[in-house]
Amino acid sequence: MPVQAVPEPSPELLSLAVGLRRAATDLGQTSDQQRRDALLAMAQSLQSHAEAIVAANLEDRQRAEQNGLAPALLARLKLDGAKLDGAIAGVRQLAELPDPLGQRQLHRELDEGLVLERVSVALGVVGVIFEARPDAVIQIASLAIRSGNGAILKGGREAESTNKAVMIALQDGLKATTVSPDALALLTTREDSLALLRLDGLVDLIIPRGSNELVRFIQDNTRIPVLGHADGVCHLYVDAEADPDQAVTIAIDSKTQYPAACNAIETLLVHNAIAASFLDKAIPVFQAKGVRLLGDPAACSLGIEDVATDADWSTEYLDLTLSVRIVDDLETALEHIRRYGSRHTEAIATRNRATAERFLRAVDSAGVYHNCSTRFADGFRYGFGAEVGISTQTLPPRGPVGLEGLVTYRYRLRGDGHIAADYASGDRQFIHRDLPA
Amino acid sequence: MPVQAVPEPSPELLSLAVGLRRAATDLGQTSDQQRRDALLAMAQSLQSHAEAIVAANLEDRQRAEQNGLAPALLARLKLDGAKLDGAIAGVRQLAELPDPLGQRQLHRELDEGLVLERVSVALGVVGVIFEARPDAVIQIASLAIRSGNGAILKGGREAESTNKAVMIALQDGLKATTVSPDALALLTTREDSLALLRLDGLVDLIIPRGSNELVRFIQDNTRIPVLGHADGVCHLYVDAEADPDQAVTIAIDSKTQYPAACNAIETLLVHNAIAASFLDKAIPVFQAKGVRLLGDPAACSLGIEDVATDADWSTEYLDLTLSVRIVDDLETALEHIRRYGSRHTEAIATRNRATAERFLRAVDSAGVYHNCSTRFADGFRYGFGAEVGISTQTLPPRGPVGLEGLVTYRYRLRGDGHIAADYASGDRQFIHRDLPA
């Protein structure tokens, strides 16, 4: 049994989770306007607590630096005034998005007087376990409240002070609204974050945001569905018919615009026919940006100095390192992506539309792009307002998960004494007529 | 680690799964018409193999009877000519349903020349483990092919001969079509069905159809997402303002129309104010239908002879047994359902519309019904053509799962050199304009 590695929830955690579930049940019944108001109050409160939050973050970062945290993780940990303003703007943007609840997705007359509908409803309670990135607390809490869900959050130890300051601001903001502050909770101990995995029946979805190891551990130790946000080993394939300048621009952006992000590329696949001229242009630009390049033998023969080992092709560097492989054709590029990719986001640079369409159909990742940066794989950029994470699983929700991924649905059937025996006997027949939404 | 209880896949199983995945990849690229034709060929072939299938089923049932299989399971095992005809009609009906693939679910201009779309695509390969019910092979195989997915099936030992005969017919039918017979496979050994749980990367979804124990075992022993089809402990609540005759009719149908099904009720909750007159009518009708009634003390004082123990409230009888509890109000009924229900399907019988709406909102089951039988919880009856199962999980797909539950989606983004840095710097702004579907 998987759950043996995980402790039983303490009475305190159980009582917190039961209270949170009760608050979430009420929250699920609130109106669109009530949830909008709650979000605006949260945004307002974050603003008035901004100084305290930024100060707490500075404290976290100083401690992390002393502890020798890697630069990539330090970048994720940072929540300065500008990043906080961006997060607050995100909360306000979420308040403006259409209500994800109460949407009728299906409306069908099964027979005269027997009417089926399928309506979107809140999931209930989401449990989120994340490392570093304290802005995640803001995104996730506001997504949860907007979609009528309670949220239990557990952040990394590095961001402890920031997370607490953010949670105080959020709950303070909710106090004056119809949404109970109890709909949000922050866990602070490792025991509690482990025991969270055993709260099936009280928590409906676990969202791990962190390393592949964290995601796998959680998948292996809970019966609660997990929205997998595994490593992002993303690829850019530069086709023989790519525009070389555009391809360089896309490659630089995909790697360097925010290398600590999961949607940054880790591997560049370059078609043999364009490799020499493309690398001639690209290598100096990468060097100027401080990117360390690792190549396969063919790439090394074209000017890349360091050798990529087999392990490099499956490594998410989260840093200014990029592996480069020269391929003979599109098929080899596709095969490489199938073998080493994490089904997150892959892009092709080509002027040949047919080649692009083949790539867009053949690559089975959550996002497949043509002539643009992989960095667009993001809930904000897709217009979702925010995201709880990017799912690389096959099943929906897939890719950047926003409000839509935090709701489920319920079938309602209204009749007037209808029984199945009448249809089994042939006395009555189903008509299955779709009604206006 | 959970997976230690489960054996490594044998080389034979791995090679079968790889071949099946390859066939499924091709299948995912076929046209609507090609998949329709494949289904019609499967239906035709089932028809020509009907005699062999029914004979094989008779053989299975005779053996099962000798082995003392419970009557409820014997009923599930049965696949006579009439049931087979119904299943074949289901396959033809599925061929007629709209293509679930290639549907554009989102079409949005993120900025000038940067266009996002979300398109439905096949999952890949589904693995199905089921007990008894050999008609499941037909339903699942045809749902899989229609939705562009390969399927690996493992049935119960009791139905071994029937399953083999059905699979021979289905693969025979596919031979003359563009869909490879290799897209379907039937596993025959227990080792293989266990090792199936370790085929992550080759199998995208596991669908267990069987006992709660089977579902839990599978959930605990695989990293592949599981479409949970747990026990159905369904309830009918007879409100104080119910039409007593209609309530009796609905109760009888919900319990007796097919007691071996998961959507049959196991517990009747009766409002105190109507209990005496309702039970007066209901008890003789239940007795005439051979239903054994178990009651709480209040129900026993009104004429029910046998006493229900606490365990009865969470028992799925799958047989002509029904537990009856008298409740003081709607709240107590709701609390009982929350505590003992399996979030499958619950119904209320009442003439009071406001009470009905409260019930429809407050009960968090996949299906919540008013004045009709719980037996309508079924993919055929909902107009889905068929179902792979009924999911009682919170996350979609929920309730009866048809074609829609077997597809996922992929984001495609087409640009012309667009990079994220331009938006981060403020040089460009997203417009997020929805385009016509």
Instruction: Provide CATH 3.40.309.10 ranges for chain A.
Output: 234-382
Residues B427, B428, B429, B435, Cα dihedral to 10°: 180
Contact residues on chain A for B418, CB-CB shorter than 8 A: 371-373, 376
Rounded to the nearest integer, the mean pLDDT of chain A is 93
pLDDT at A7 over 90: no
Least confident of A139-148, A343-352, B35-44, B70-79: B70-79
Instruction: Tell me if A424 and B123 make a contact (CB, 8 A cut-off).
Output: no
**d(CA A325, nearest CA chain B) in Å:** 22
The CATH number of the domain covering residues in B234-381: 3.40.309.10
First and final C-alpha spacing in chain A: 45
Residues from chain B that touch A118, judged by Cβ atoms under 8 A, are 399
Written out in words, the top-level CATH class of the domain with range A11-227+388-409 is: alpha beta
Residues of B in contact with A395 (CB under 8 A): 123, 204-205, 225, 408
Q: Does the distance separating the beta carbons of A123 and B368 come in below 8 Å?
A: no
Q: How far is CA B195 from CA A174, B9, B157, B165, B208, in A?
A: 49, 5, 17, 24, 14
Query: Do residue A366 and residue B246 have CB atoms under 8 angstroms apart?
Result: no
Inter-chain residue contact A413 with B367, CB threshold 8 Å: yes
Q: Which of residues 212-241 of A touch B (CB under 8 A)?
A: 216, 219-220, 223, 225
| pLDDT at res. A229 | 64
Nearest to B110 among A258, A370, A383 (CB): A383
Q: What is the mean predicted confidence (pLDDT) over A332-357?
A: 95
CB contact under 8 A, B121 and A364: yes
User: What's the rounded mean pLDDT across residues A99-124?
Assistant: 96
Q: Alpha carbon B390 to chain centroid distance?
A: 3
Residue of A nearest to B429 (CA): A381
Q: Which CATH superfamily is domain B10-227+388-409 in?
A: Aldehyde Dehydrogenase; Chain A, domain 1 (3.40.605.10)
Give the separation between CA B268 and CA A279, rounded to whole angstroms. Answer: 74
**Interface with A, mutate which of B107, B419, B428, B432 (most A CBs under 10 A):** B419
Domain with CATH 3.40.309.10 in chain B: 234-381
Q: Say if A242 is an interface residue toward chain B (CB within 8 Å).
A: no
Considering chain B, tell me which residue range(s) the CATH 3.40.605.10 domain(s) occupy. 10-227+388-409
Mean pLDDT check: name the lowest of B186-200, B272-286, B413-427.
B186-200
Question: Over pLDDT 70: what percentage of chain B?
Answer: 98
A270-274, A379-383, A405-409: which is most confident: A270-274
Three-class DSSP category at A123: coil
Extract the runs of DSSP E, i.e. beta strands, from B162-308: 184-187, 205-209, 234-238, 265-271, 292-295, 306-307
Q: Which residues on chain A are in Cβ contact (under 8 Å) with B413?
A: 367-370, 372, 376
> Which of the four pLDDT bands, split at 50, 70 and 90, describes residue B51?
very high
Contacts of A395 (CB under 8 A, 6+ apart): B123, B204, B205, B225, B408
pLDDT tier at B389, thresholds 50, 70, 90: confident
Q: Please tell me which of A131-140, B124-133, B315-324 the model is most confident about, judged by mean pLDDT.
A: B315-324
Write down the pLDDT at residue B212. Answer: 76
- Which has the closest alpha carbon to B314: B296, B339, B285, B295? B339
Lookup result for tokens 């289904």: B39
Report yes or no: B314 at the A interface, CB cutoff 8 Å. Answer: no
Averaged pLDDT, A18-30? 90
pLDDT at A3: 42
Alpha carbons B271 and B324: distance in angstroms, whole number: 11
How far from B422 is each of A253, A350, B427, CA to CA, in Å? 9, 21, 5
Listed in sequence order, the residues at least 6 apart from B51 whose beta carbon sits closer than 8 Å to its beta carbon are none
Report H helices in A49-97: 50-66, 71-77, 81-96
Q: Considering only the beta carbons, identify the residue of A216, A250, A367 that sits closest to B417.
A: A250
A150-177 per-position pLDDT tens digit:
999 999 889 999 999 999 999 999 999 9
DSSP for A362-427 reads: H--SSEEEEEE-GGG-SHHHHTSS--SEEE-SSSSS-EEE-GGGGEEEEEEEEEEEE-THHHHTTS
pLDDT range class, residue B204, cuts 50, 70, 90: very high
Contact A248, A373 (CB under 8 A): no
Confidence label for A209 from pLDDT (cuts 50, 70 and 90):
confident
pLDDT band of residue B132 (cuts 50, 70, 90) is low
pLDDT score at B388: 84
Q: Tell me the pLDDT tens digit for each residue of A276-323.
A: 999 999 999 999 999 999 999 999 999 999 999 999 999 999 899 999
Q: Which of A329, A280, A281, A274 is nearest to A302 (CA)?
A: A280
Out of B1, B123, B395, the one facing A220 most closely (by C-beta) is B1
pLDDT reading at B230 higher than 80 = no
Tokens of A61: 């970062």
Q: What is the per-residue pLDDT for B137?
A: 92
Architecture of the domain made up of A234-382: 3-Layer(aba) Sandwich (3.40)
* Closest in B110, B369, B396 to A396, CB measured: B396
Q: What pLDDT sits at residue A430?
A: 97
3-state secondary structure of A114: strand
Residue B5 has pLDDT above 80, yes or no: no
* Residue indicated by tokens 């919170």: B394
Nearest CB to B250; choose among A365, A376, A419: A419
Average pLDDT over residues B137-161: 94
Q: What is the three-state SS of B362-392?
A: HCCCCEEEEEECHHHCCHHHHCCCCCCEEEC
Q: So what's the pLDDT on residue B366?
A: 94
Residues 255-274 of B with CB under 8 A from A: 257-258
Q: B190 to each of A207, B155, B186, how far by Cα in Å?
A: 33, 10, 12
Starting at the edge strand that comes first in sequence, how are the strands of the sheet with B292-295 ordered?
A433-434, A104-111, A114-122, A407-418, B367-372, B345-349, B234-238, B265-271, B321-327, B292-295, B306-307
Return the number of other C-beta atoms located less than 10 Å from residue B354's C-beta. 9
A365 and B410: CB-CB below 8 Å?
A: yes
> Taking a contact as any Cβ pair under 8 Å apart, which residues of chain A between 165 and 204 contact chain B?
204
Please name the residue that has the structure tokens 């496979």.
B185
For residue B268, the cross-strand partners are B236, B324
pLDDT for A2 beyond 50: no
* Residue type at position A124: G
pLDDT of residue B229: 64
**Which range, A389-398, B72-81, B269-278, has the best average confidence (pLDDT)?**
B269-278
- Where does chain A hold its CATH 3.40.605.10 domain(s)? 11-227+388-409
Tens-place pLDDT, residues B403-430: 988 999 999 999 999 999 999 999 999 9
Query: B50 in contact with A at a CB cutoff of 8 Å?
Result: no
Asked if A85 and A46 touch (Cβ cutoff 8 Å), the reply is no
Distance (Å, rounded) from C-alpha B35 to C-alpha A421? 33
Q: How far is the C-alpha of A53 from the C-alpha of A168, rounded, in Å?
A: 10
Choose, out of A223, A351, A411, the residue to mutate when testing the contact with B (most B CBs < 10 Å). A411
**Whether residue B4 has pLDDT greater than 60:** no
The answer to whether the bond into A436 is cis (omega within 30° of 0) is: no
The answer to whether A432 faces chain B, any CB pair under 8 Å, is: yes
The torsion of the CA quartet B239, B240, B243, B249, rounded to 10 degrees, works out to: 40
The tokens for A418 are 């209808």
d(CA B91, CA B100): 15
Can you count the helices (H) and strands (E) in chain B?
Answer: 16, 17
CA distance B370 to chain A (A): 5
- Cβ–Cβ under 8 Å, residues B308 and B300: no
Mutating which of B27, B418, B423, B433 best tests the A interface, going by the most A Cβ atoms within 10 A?
A: B418
Amino acid letter, A115? V
pLDDT(A65) > 90: yes
Q: How does strand A389-391 pair with strand A367-372?
A: unpaired
In this structure, is the dihedral angle defined by the CA atoms of residues A268, A272, A273 and A277, taken in order, positive or negative? positive
A417 at interface of B, judged by CB pairs closer than 8 A: yes
**Chain B residue numbers touching A396 (CB-CB < 8 A):** 396, 408-409
Yes or no, beta carbons of A204 and B395 under 8 Å apart: yes
Q: What residues of chain B lie within 8 A of the CB of A342, using their CB?
A: none
Instruction: Report CB contact under 8 Å: B219, A223.
Output: yes
- Which of A3, A393, A417 comes nearest B249 by C-beta? A417
* Interchain CB distance below 8 Å, B414 and A375: no
Give dist(CA A47, CA A84) in Å, integer.
9
- Write out pLDDT tens, residues B330-376: 999 998 998 899 899 999 999 999 999 999 988 989 999 999 999 99
Residue of chain A minimizing CA distance to B252 = A419
B120 vs B140: CA distance, rounded Å: 19
Predicted ipTM of the assembly: 0.88
Count the Cβ atoms, other than its own, within 10 Å of residue A301: 12
DSSP-derived secondary structure for B18-85: HHHHHHHHHHHTS-HHHHHHHHHHHHHHHHHTHHHHHHHHHHHHHHHHHTT--HHHHHHH---HHHHH
Residues 6+ positions from B19 with CB-CB distance below 8 Å: B182
